[in-house]
Amino acid sequence: MCTAYSTSTSMQGFPRQPIGIGHLPTELLSIIFQMAYRNLRETDTYCPQTTYWPYGENLRSPSLFPYSLSNVCRLWQGIMADNPAYWTRLVVLVGRDATHPRAFESQLTWSRGRPFTITVTRREHDDVDPPDLEREQVAAITAIFKPHIHRARTITFDVLYSGSLPTLHQDFEGTATHLTSLQLKSSMTRGLGGCDLDVATSIKPELQLECPKLQTLHLDGSNFRDAVRYKWLGLFSRATSVSISRFSPDDTMSLSLLQSLRALRAIRFLHSLEFRDVAFEMDSARADIVRYPSLLDLTFVRVAGELIQDVLLSIEHGFLESLTIIACPLVIHDPDILPGIFYLNLEALSADENPLVCLQLWGASSDGGHSLQIRDCPCFTDSVLTAMSRGGRHDEHWICPRLSELEIRDCHHFSGHALRRMVEAHWVASRKFSEMDPNLENGELQVSAIQSLTVTGCGEILSEEDQEWFKAHLLWFTYKV
């Protein structure tokens, strides 16, 4: 226990007596808590008077403000309950360390009508509890939360089982004026969730939810299926980022890929689209191309390789800037689906994958293939770098001939020497093409020089000679073991 000491000394000269922190004046404790709150908040760059909760903070941390302080004793909790600003970021735990429903009710009361963010999650997703327990806990929290949806800025349910998630048709009603983000996601597929068979006939044809400011939407498979079936996606037409997760053809009333892509056209301002742990029924025949005029970013996480190719073949992506593939097999053979994409991000590809075909197709056009990020990919080896180092007089012999930015993170199966040979080969080739036509810029050359190289967490120490070469020939170079 922290202690403070009295400033007075007795007439007899006895030592001053320690005073426990529990005896500090409430005014002093209140000032300490306010300082802790202000130190946590981040300031808006364009409006210094505006502060906000920091992004990316670990909301499962036992030291999270205000819970770590309010749980010390009743006195501290009472002081913190008097400041509603402390309770505008609500984190509710389910599972082993579940938040008691009455404690959650108190936190909503302490926020005193202010807009808030709410996250319902688990302390550890590795814990395996009975599905019914988590579902009951989430249902109890949802029932308490529903009357306050009009105050929510962001709503996130990040639980273990998909069957625990709330449903759009039963648990979200009213006008959510402040809502900018709605995310319903889970780590495992268990239980029906969404539209259960015994309540399917009771679903209202119209979703009783209005959220005019919604920008981010993440739906689990069951809720996405219901939204497509009952044409609810139009209610989220101003969303710019959409993610679909935990969906498979085994679910009741499964959807085809084309049916899903057509339904997503109701979201008119779609910039970013993610497919995570999903599988769709394949259409028997190729239909008309689905157009998303605003789509810029496309992400696939743990899906079948055929799905990646089918999606890219089914949509018009002339303005697509970025493609991210995480933990997926690379089944991409069609030469018309990757050219024109500026950024390519490959992450967590297995050692059995061969990225060369994907890289060659990506770099096949003059307006794509410029920025590559490789992360945690055992398949990124010296042989890949050697193949990227070879080329002839024309750019079609090169893999990624216009590559100008390369970032490598947490890859341990390539050498610094092979990396230098590849970068140097591009540099030499670009000089040759530049000498042929001195009026061309680097990005206009048939083979571009790599200008930015970032390598982190790769294990091998780079030789001093190689480091000096990179520093002398690149505009930006970072190498950290």
CATH number of the domain bearing residue 421: 3.80.10
52 close to 41: Cβ distance less than 8 angstroms: yes
> Residue 21, class by beta-carbon neighbours within 10 Å (0-12 exposed, 13-18 middle, 19+ buried)?
middle
- Domain annotation covers residue 473: yes
Output the six-digit token pair for 95. 């599972």
What band does 287 get if pLDDT is binned at 50, 70 and 90? low
247 close to 279: Cβ distance less than 8 angstroms: yes
What band does 4 get if pLDDT is binned at 50, 70 and 90? very low
Helices and strands, number each (H, E), in the chain: 13, 22
At 409 the pLDDT is: 95
Output the six-digit token pair for 416. 């610094």
- Domain annotation covers residue 351: yes
Selection from 16-25, 152-161, 190-199, 356-365 with the highest mean pLDDT: 152-161
- Domain annotation covers residue 247: no
Confidence (pTM): 0.86
Sign for the CA dihedral angle at 36, 38, 41, 45 comes to negative
Q: Count Cβ neighbours within 10 Å for each residue of 50-60 and write b for 16 or more, e otherwise.
A: eeeeeeeeebb
Question: Which residues share a beta bridge with 167?
Answer: none
Which residues have a Cβ under 8 Å from the Cβ of 177 and sit 6 or more positions away? 150, 212, 213
Helical segments of 172-271, H only: 221-229, 257-263
At 254 the pLDDT is: 72
Find the mean pLDDT for residues 209-223.
Answer: 93
Helical segments of 282-412, H only: 305-314, 356-362, 382-388
pLDDT at position 304 over 70: yes
* pLDDT tens per residue across span 251-265: 456 788 888 999 999
Minimal CA–CA distance to 163: which of 184, 141, 190, 143?
Answer: 190
Minimal CA–CA distance to 430: which of 446, 418, 419, 406?
Answer: 446
* pLDDT tens per residue across span 113-123: 999 999 999 88
Q: Between 102 and 337, whose confidence is greater?
A: 102
Residue 159 backbone phi and psi in degrees, to 5:
-115, -175
Query: What secondary structure does DSSP assign to 339-373, as a single string?
Result: TT-SEEEEES--TT--THHHHHHHTTSTTS--EEE
Lowest mean pLDDT among 82-91, 117-126, 298-307: 117-126
The pLDDT mean for the chain works out to: 84
* pLDDT tens per residue across span 179-212: 999 999 998 876 544 444 444 445 556 788 899 9
Count of other CB atoms within 10 angstroms of residue 13: 6
Which residues have a Cβ under 8 Å from the Cβ of 45 and sit 6 or more positions away? none
- Domain annotation covers residue 200: no
Count of other CB atoms within 10 angstroms of residue 171: 19
Find the mean pLDDT for residues 212-219.
Answer: 95
- Domain annotation covers residue 366: yes
Lowest mean pLDDT among 183-197, 332-346, 347-361: 183-197
Find the mean pLDDT for residues 431-435.
Answer: 73
* pLDDT tens per residue across span 22-50: 677 888 888 888 888 888 877 777 777 67
- Structurally, the chain folds into a number of domains equal to 1
Lowest mean pLDDT among 131-145, 205-219, 230-244, 423-437: 423-437
At 37 the pLDDT is: 84
CA distances from 96 to 105, 125, 126, 216, 340 (A): 19, 10, 11, 29, 48
Lowest mean pLDDT among 4-18, 208-222, 266-280, 391-405: 4-18
Q: Between 316 and 311, whose confidence is greater?
A: 311
Residue 406: its H or E element: strand 405-409
Q: Between 46 and 324, whose confidence is greater?
A: 324
* pLDDT tens per residue across span 41-75: 777 777 776 776 777 778 888 888 898 888 888 88
CA distances from 310 to 88, 324, 369, 410, 464 (A): 43, 15, 21, 30, 46
Output the six-digit token pair for 112. 């005193």
What band does 364 get if pLDDT is binned at 50, 70 and 90? confident
Return d(Cα 101, Cα 367) in angstroms, integer: 55
Amino acid identity at 275: F
What is the domain extent for residue 471? Answer: 321-481
- Domain annotation covers residue 418: yes
Find the mean pLDDT for residues 323-335.
Answer: 89
- Domain annotation covers residue 225: no
Instruction: Give the rounded percent of residues in the chain with a pLDDT score beyond 70.
Output: 85
At 205 the pLDDT is: 66
Instruction: Give the rounded percent of residues in the chain with a pLDDT score beyond 90.
Output: 47
Q: Between 43 and 99, whose confidence is greater?
A: 99
Count of other CB atoms within 10 angstroms of residue 15: 8
Q: Is 132 helix (H, G, I), strand (E, B) or coil?
A: helix
pLDDT at position 149 over 50: yes
At 194 the pLDDT is: 47
- Domain annotation covers residue 355: yes
